[in-house]
């Protein structure tokens, strides 16, 4: 639906990464639905995956999500959140019409 695909991962003290559960991401998205319009163009898709529009600034999204996850008790003090954009899957090429 949106142009950008973001990975949302919890990183522990040893550097191990784990996709954040969908319900964490959804909880953040719903809270921000009415409180900060800049995050309205987001759509939680799956564990660790959030789609976003071009106007969503990653430099504001990451600290806002990390702060919310800490306040909810999702992140431990020694953990951090990483948000990164990944290449979206290229659309399938259109098939030429078949002549009969």
Q: Is the pLDDT of residue 5 over 80?
A: yes
> Running DSSP on this structure, what letter comes out for residue 74?
-
The tokens for 96 are 């030429």
pLDDT band at 41 (very low <50, low <70, confident <90, very high): confident
CB atoms within 10 A of CB 22: 16
Q: Where are the domains of the chain?
A: 4-86
pLDDT at residue 10, rounded to an integer:
97
Structure confidence at residue 94 as a pLDDT band (50, 70, 90) = low
Pairwise CA distance, residues 18 & 47, whole Å: 9
Q: How far apart are CA 73 and CA 2, in angstroms?
A: 29
| Chain position carrying tokens 């921000």 | 32
Q: pTM here? A: 0.80
């Amino acid at each position: 639906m949106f142009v950008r695909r973001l990975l949302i991962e919890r990183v522990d003290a040893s550097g191990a990464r784990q996709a954040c559960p969908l319900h964490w991401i959804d909880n953040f998205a719903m809270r921000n639905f009415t409180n900060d319009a800049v995050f309205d163009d987001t759509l939680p898709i799956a564990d660790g995956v959030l789609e976003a529009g071009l106007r969503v600034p990653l430099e504001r999204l990451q600290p806002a999500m990390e702060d919310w996850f800490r306040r909810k008790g999702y992140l431990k003090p020694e953990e951090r959140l990483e948000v990164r954009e990944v290449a979206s899957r290229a659309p399938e090429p259109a098939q030429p019409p078949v002549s009969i």
